[in-house]
């Protein structure tokens, strides 16, 4: 038993060490940033059933964080063809609903349909279809997919499906270069190349664009015919040589798959189940049965809430254990009108912020005291906040909502003001001497804010009214 414990402990230490060296072989020197920009997509690829938009992952901010961002828009009855990637991905469902499947070699095909067939007077059961399990998702869900795990998505709703995807190219699971790659298992993803559009063609492409293609196209037709046991015509269909539909196709009659019925009430109950810390011991949950989805939009699951300012929710490896394997986490922020999120820094991760609604004024400060970003971010824009850079947000008149991807499975935040801030933990005399103020002013500076992280905007407004009187 002692040897088993030591073996497990050694494995965990080596596992942790491997991710502690995240991207160190190529990421060194990439974070010498003097300016950060709020970015929008620079590339657009149109397909039959939708469109994919890509942010320029060659920008200094994305190179520093070691990630890339893209957004998929699927029309009703649109299917994103199965593909796998060279790095783990974390996706946020901004709008709509649908279903997805993940194909992992060695996992059982637990979804099956059957029909009775009688032969020679004896009953025999023949399976019409059998496949790995299928999941449902809806607006507000976070979806996690390991590197190399092929997956697909289908829009079974009535409105456009919008999914924002982060690909962690600096993750230790990616042993290629930092360029994002997608390996499709069907179709001809570049078949509609004439409908690719560069929003900003003047931008340099020093490391190349997001690369993708059908892996079957490189194999010989005769080899494919032999390994699949089909004729050469069917083998050519695998290669998608004459398929001009692109990487998102339209399923005219709707997708017919084996999936258990899921009522709205049942979905709601599943989301409301409490999760009291990590209960796994490494044996109960395997990669085949791992939960890959968690909803982050529900106000009832907020970690921090101020009825006058807004709320902040997180999903990490404690609430979605698969994230400990991916070394990623996510957060969801909602600020009401003129609400403020306290100045803070992320201790152990880069943060990639995607604004889903509204706008906010944001400031980001580097280690040398320079404001590397001081501007307004709007819906659809992305801002990268490097590790330990301090950031503050103030919502506009319409409020602001965002989703935040973090490059650590348990991202930690330290605040500069508020009830649990760094200044609150300092003795008043240290504050007085550090800032050359009186002890009374130090007390006011230390205790003026009683909120934790989400501040209402009325505090500043009242002081401005007094000053102008």
Instruction: Please give the pLDDT value at position 74.
Output: 98
More confident residue, 316 or 8: 316
Residue 388 forms part of a structural domain:
yes
Whether residue 169 is found in the same domain as residue 317: no
Residue 422 forms part of a structural domain:
yes
- Give how far the C-alpha of residue 34 lies from the chain's centroid of Cα atoms, to the nearest Å: 26
Please report, to the nearest 10 degrees, the dihedral formed by the alpha carbons of residues 350, 356, 361, 365 taken in order. Answer: 0
Q: Which of 250, 268, 286 is the last residue of a domain?
A: 250
Instruction: Please give the pLDDT value at position 130.
Output: 67
Whether residue 444 is found in the same domain as residue 300: yes
CATH classification at residue 436: 2.60.120.10
Please give the structure tokens belonging to residue 93: 């469902």
Number of domains in the chain: 2
Whether residue 173 is found in the same domain as residue 316: no
Instruction: Please give the pLDDT value at position 29.
Output: 57
Please report, to the nearest 10 degrees, the dihedral formed by the alpha carbons of residues 393, 396, 402, 408 taken in order. Answer: 0
Rounded to an integer, the average pLDDT of 325-333 is 97
Average pLDDT, the chain: 83
Whether residue 180 is found in the same domain as residue 50: yes
User: Quick one: pLDDT band at residue 128, thresholds 50, 70, 90?
Assistant: confident
Cα separation values, 290 from 15, 115, 316, 323, 408, Å = 18, 30, 14, 10, 19
User: Quick one: pLDDT band at residue 7, thresholds 50, 70, 90?
Assistant: very low
More confident residue, 466 or 437: 437
pLDDT tops 80 at residue 264: no
More confident residue, 393 or 275: 393
Residue 9 forms part of a structural domain:
no
pTM: 0.85
Percent of the chain at pLDDT exceeding 70: 77
CA angle 414, 418, 420 (to 5 degrees): 55
Rg (CA), the chain: 25
Q: What residues pair up with 359 in beta bridges, in sequence order? A: 378
Rounded to an integer, the average pLDDT of 294-317 is 96
Whether residue 311 is found in the same domain as residue 450: yes
User: Quick one: pLDDT band at residue 193, thresholds 50, 70, 90?
Assistant: very low
Q: Residue 438: which domain range?
A: 296-455
Residue 234 forms part of a structural domain:
no
Instruction: Please give the pLDDT value at position 177.
Output: 87
Q: Which of 250, 266, 285 is the last residue of a domain?
A: 250
- Give how far the C-alpha of residue 43 lies from the chain's centroid of Cα atoms, to the nearest Å: 19
Residue 463 forms part of a structural domain:
no
State the Cα–Cα distance between residues 462 and 80, nearest whole angstrom. Answer: 52
State the Cα–Cα distance between residues 462 and 468, nearest whole angstrom. Answer: 10
pLDDT per position as a tens digit, 132-180? 678 899 999 999 999 999 999 999 999 999 999 999 999 999 999 889 9
Whether residue 309 is found in the same domain as residue 447: yes
Residue 164 forms part of a structural domain:
yes
Tallying the residues shown for the chain, one arrives at 469
More confident residue, 19 or 366: 366
Half-sphere exposure of 331 (CA within 13 A, CB side): 22
Question: Of 464, 466, 451, 461, which Cα lies nearest the Cα of 308?
Answer: 451
Residue 431 forms part of a structural domain:
yes
Please give the structure tokens belonging to residue 310: 């807004």
User: Quick one: pLDDT band at residue 381, thresholds 50, 70, 90?
Assistant: very high
Residue 56 forms part of a structural domain:
yes
Whether residue 183 is found in the same domain as residue 302: no
């Amino acid at each position: 038993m002692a040897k088993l414990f030591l073996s497990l402990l050694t494995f965990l230490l080596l596992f942790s060490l491997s991710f502690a060296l995240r991207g160190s072989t190529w990421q060194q020197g990439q974070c010498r940033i003097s300016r950060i920009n709020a970015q929008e997509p620079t590339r657009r690829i149109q397909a039959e059933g939708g469109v994919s938009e890509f942010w320029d992952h060659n920008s200094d901010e994305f190179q520093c964080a070691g990630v890339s961002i893209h957004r998929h828009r699927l029309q009703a009855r649109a299917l994103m063809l199965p593909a796998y990637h060279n790095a783990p991905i974390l996706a946020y469902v901004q709008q709509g609903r649908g279903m997805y499947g993940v194909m992992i070699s060695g996992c059982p095909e637990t979804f099956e349909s059957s029909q009775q067939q009688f032969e020679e007077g004896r009953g025999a059961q023949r399976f019409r279809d059998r496949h790995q399990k299928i999941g449902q998702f809806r607006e507000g869900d976070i979806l996690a997919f390991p590197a190399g795990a092929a997956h697909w998505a289908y829009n079974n709703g009535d409105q456009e499906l919008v999914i924002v995807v982060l690909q962690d190219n600096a993750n230790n699971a990616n042993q290629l270069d930092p360029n994002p790659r997608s390996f499709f298992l069907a179709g001809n993803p570049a078949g509609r190349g004439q409908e690719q559009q560069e929003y900003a063609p003047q931008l340099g492409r020093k490391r190349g664009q997001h690369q993708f293609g059908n892996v079957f196209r490189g194999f010989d037709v005769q080899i494919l015919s032999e390994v699949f046991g089909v004729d050469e015509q069917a083998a050519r269909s695998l290669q998608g040589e004459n398929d001009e539909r692109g990487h998102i196709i339209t399923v005219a009659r709707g997708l017919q798959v084996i999936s258990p019925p899921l009522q709205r009430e049942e979905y709601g109950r599943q989301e409301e189940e409490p999760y009291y810390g990590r209960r796994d011991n490494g044996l109960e949950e395997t990669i085949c049965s791992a939960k890959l989805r968690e909803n982050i939009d529900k106000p009832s699951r907020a970690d921090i809430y101020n009825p006058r300012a807004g709320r902040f929710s997180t999903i990490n490896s404690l609430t979605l254990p698969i994230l400990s394997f991916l070394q990623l986490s996510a957060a969801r922020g909602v600020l009401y009108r003129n609400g403020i999120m306290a100045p803070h820094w992320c201790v152990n991760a880069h943060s990639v912020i995607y604004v889903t609604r509204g706008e906010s004024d944001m400031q980001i400060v580097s280690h040398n005291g320079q404001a590397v970003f001081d501007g307004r971010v709007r819906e659809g824009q992305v801002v990268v906040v490097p590790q330990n850079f301090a950031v503050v947000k103030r919502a506009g008149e319409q409020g602001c909502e965002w989703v935040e991807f973090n490059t650590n499975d348990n991202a930690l935040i330290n605040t500069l003001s508020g009830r649990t801030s760094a200044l609150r933990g300092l003795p008043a005399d240290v504050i007085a001497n550090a800032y050359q103020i009186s002890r009374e002013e130090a007390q006011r500076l230390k205790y003026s804010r009683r909120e934790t992280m989400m501040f209402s905007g009325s505090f500043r407004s009242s002081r401005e009214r007094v000053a102008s009187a």
